[in-house]
Structure 1
Amino acid sequence: MQSDWPTATLGELTINLDTKRRPVKEADRRSGPYPYYGASGIVDHVDGFLFEGEHLLIAEDGENLRTRNTPVAFRATGRFWVNNHAHIVKGNGLARTRFLEYAVLAADLTPYLTGAVMPKLTQGNLNKIELPCPPLKAQDAVIGVLGSLDDRIALLRQTNATLESIAQALFKSWFIDFDPVRAKAEGREPEGMDAATAALFPAGFEESALGPIPKGWEVRSLDSFASYLNGLALQKYPPESEDEYLPVIKIAQLRAGHTVAADRASARLKPEYIVRDGDVLFSWSGSLEVEFWCGGDGALNQHLFKVTSDEVPKWFYYLATRHFLPGFREIAAHKATTMGHIQRKHLTEARIALPPTPVLHEAGRAGASLVERRIANSLQARQLAELRDALLPRLISGKLRLPEAEREIEEALA
């Protein structure tokens, strides 16, 4: 990376604390409040800590050093534990730790990697990474610009986590535990809803294959009211050209939430195999996840379901599928294969009490609002991340000064 500022090696700018790392086997970990970090972030929470304060973690090994689907450098703050898959450093008097995070993220690490099969960044090569080293005042200015964007992204993600928790709690209360029906059956007013909404719920139960369910409701399987479309083996659908293609959405992209460095496939797939923002995706093998996709248009790869429905609203089939996710993960974990998975029969066996349409559409307004806000926040976070990523290399190199960067942010967010 060419820079208008003086440069120095990472070893000259940091204090290295690798000797204090200590891995703990999963079987030996005791659950606790402290994050346990690996090469790509938090992998667990444990009952002790090795480090305290602000530090920079840089991946030591793993394919992500090449693909960079997730950040290869990230700060850890507070009290935490680090295993031996992440280098741990902090800035010395010449560099701020947060500036170093951005500098490493902007750097090309390829020349410093070893290992033909599994990439590795040794401590010796880590120390050789050449980075821009402007005066501390300039570093603080860069941190101010990029940090404000990162802080806004973090706030949106925290808000989404809260919205998700509220939506799941509401879904469980109304459609799994039947709290409004129980309240009316006991002569009480249902909590957290107005009289018109409460009137949509019955005041009693009837027996079913699931046990007692609200009167007038119907036991249905997931795949009876929603469609679970499996993706394609997209290596059979190559891109038309360098300019005409769709990024391939695999499990890795679903987990990362973007298609950076993704494979490419034909842009002329049938419409149902094209993923759009706001679509519900369900990875049914490997790492089982159910998420709203907000990473732009892409091609649906095998091992992913795109979930849709002509019968029930999006918020309902999303939350219903998520409700069964822990059970699906348990099934996958016990598969005697290298990659655990579920089968379509498990969608049929996953049954729920489906309310009449008026309940779904009227009582579900709250659920729909929560889901719409969550999708909107995710799209805004993506916009901010794209802006940050565009500004980062120019700010770090000194080729873009603070006033120009602030103008670009104002224009992008106007």
Structure 2
Amino acid sequence: MKTKTWKINKLEKICEILNNKRVPISQKDRISGIYPYYGASGIVDYIDKYIFDEELVLIGEDGAKWGAFENSAFIASGKYWVNNHAHILKPNNEILINKFLVYFLNYSNLEKYITGATVKKLNQQKLKQIEILLPPLKEQKRIVGILDESFANIDESIKILEQDLLNLDELMQSALQKTFNPLKDTTKENYQLPQDWEWKSLGEICEINPRNKVDDEINISFISMDKILDGYNNKFSYVIKKWKDVKKGFTHFKQGDIGLAKITPCFENKKSVIFNNLENGIGAGTTELHIIRVGNYIISKFLLWFFKTEKFIKNGILNMTGATGHKRVPKDFIKNLQIPLPPLQEQEKIASYLDELSLNIKDLKQNYQTQIKNLQELKKSLLDRAFKGRL
């Protein structure tokens, strides 16, 4: 499509700015209701009254993102309220379609219009200077029609893929539940186990938070919390230090020990690992870990998978102590934790099965995530084609 008939105009020439009609309401003064209360990036609440009853275009004034493809602008329709963090635009519909303006603003990189170093802002004066591409109205309608249909199909595909990702998480948790409760007994605590299984407290069969005795001059691996990744198959980035420099004030561990994050939100995110590839088989690190050193009755991989179960995570959260936002799973909870324990040979089989299932699920997740990324890139490509006259 040739663009020689397309014009460019400043926003102030083709849109009425209705900022004088917006009214902020503090959270304590809002009364819950059915009408959307809009802020910089969309709906932030629902209240009992409204200011506007028409379709308008909103774009963030502060607290938003204004880069290319950042969805800076959006449509508000029906009855609603707008606070003072969003500009309110009423395009002249004789020359500009609302949805075309939204697509164009979201396609555009508006960073050059943004002021402020610490608190970034698209002030009204800069807003007025934004240059808007103006094809003929018929062409705008054609472009909007193609983009609406294409984006709807893409968004539906993304939605399906995102649900597939959730289904994979549910599949893993279902497998874990069946693994550790093979008889599907609904008893809340110490449910019935197969004949050759038994309940054991972790304190009976493991050392909890052991201390190492090592020569001061030996090199060891040191790891911080940000390197604790979910899953023992990951490779860690260790820092090599002298034992004398870390033996006090840090957690101790050895090759094969399990590190279990004890602080929120790391615990909730199932951050637990088996330490491997340690320098001289010795390590130290953050005190926000519980270290579990397995004995002769249980293998590390089997126990690690138990730590990934929803039941364990929920019970751990219920037993956390400390101030809100910095709660921790106490040592006594770990020590007294009851573990359903099959024979060692069966533990090996279970761990191998869960390892393989987890890797397959990981591969599928990567595939779905790649598809989602490709679909998001397709949306960008369509916008680029649209505003370069090639759609």
* TM-score bucket of the superposed structures, by smaller chain: 0.5 to 0.7
Contact 2:268 2:317 in 1 (8 A): no
Per-residue CA deviations over 1:343-364 (Å, capped at 9, x if unaligned) read 5769x77x8987988999999x
Contact 2:173 2:310 in 1 (8 A): no
Q: Note the C-alpha offset of 1:162.
A: 5.9
Q: Note the C-alpha offset of 1:214.
A: 2.6
Amino acid at match of 1:73: A
Where do residues 126-137 of structure 1 align in structure 2 (5 Å cutoff)? 126-137=127-138
**Could you list the runs of 5+ residues in structure 1 that have no partner in the other structure?**
181-196, 206-210, 234-269, 274-281, 292-301, 403-414
Q: Tell me the equivalent position of 2:205.
A: none
CA distance in 2 between counterparts of 1:331 and 1:68 reads 45
Contact 2:97 2:140 in 1 (8 A): yes
Amino acid at match of 1:382: K
**Is 1:387 matched with 2:371?**
no
Contact 1:23 1:84 in 2 (8 A): yes
Q: Tell me the equivalent position of 1:140.
A: 141
Task: Sort the Cα spacing of 1:171 and 1:385 in 2 relative to 1 into closer, same or farther, 3 A.
Answer: closer
Q: TM-score, normalised by structure 2?
A: 0.54
Q: Tell me the equivalent position of 1:16.
A: 17
Q: Tell me the equivalent position of 2:123.
A: 122
Q: CA RMSD in A?
A: 5.5
Per-residue CA deviations over 1:285-331 (Å, capped at 9, x if unaligned) read 8999969xxxxxxxxxx9xx9xxx955999x9486698689979x99
Contact 1:201 1:359 in 2 (8 A): no
Q: Tell me the equivalent position of 1:201.
A: 183
**Could you list the runs of 5+ residues in structure 2 that have no partner in the other structure?**
194-198, 203-207, 209-222, 229-233, 238-260, 271-285, 290-299
Per-residue CA deviations over 1:156-215 (Å, capped at 9, x if unaligned) read 45446766888899999999xx9x9xxxxxxxxxxxxxxxx9x9434463xxxxx63532
Q: Tell me the equivalent position of 1:267.
A: none
CA distance in 2 between counterparts of 1:103 and 1:331 reads 51
CA distance in 2 between counterparts of 1:109 and 1:360 reads 52
Q: Tell me the equivalent position of 2:226.
A: 231
Q: Note the C-alpha offset of 1:7.
A: 0.6
Contact 1:156 1:377 in 2 (8 A): no
Q: State the secondary structure of the residue aligned to 1:121.
A: coil
Q: State the secondary structure of the residue aligned to 2:100.
A: helix
- Percent identical among aligned pairs is 29
Q: State the secondary structure of the residue aligned to 1:36.
A: strand
**Is 1:72 matched with 2:72?**
yes
Q: Tell me the equivalent position of 2:83.
A: 83
Q: Tell me the equivalent position of 2:191.
A: 214
Contact 1:35 1:46 in 2 (8 A): yes
Where do residues 163-312 of structure 1 align in structure 2 (5 Å cutoff)? 200-203=182-185, 205=187, 212-216=189-193, 230-231=225-226, 271-272=235-236, 311=302
Contact 1:21 1:83 in 2 (8 A): yes
Q: TM-score, normalised by structure 1?
A: 0.52
Larger radius of gyration: 2
Q: Tell me the equivalent position of 2:7.
A: 6
Q: Note the C-alpha offset of 1:92.
A: 2.4
Contact 1:149 1:384 in 2 (8 A): no
CA distance in 1 between counterparts of 2:338 and 2:37 reads 37
Contact 1:14 1:91 in 2 (8 A): yes
Q: Note the C-alpha offset of 1:125.
A: 1.9
Q: Note the C-alpha offset of 1:80.
A: 3.7
Per-residue CA deviations over 1:42-81 (Å, capped at 9, x if unaligned) read 333444444445432211013734x679532233344443
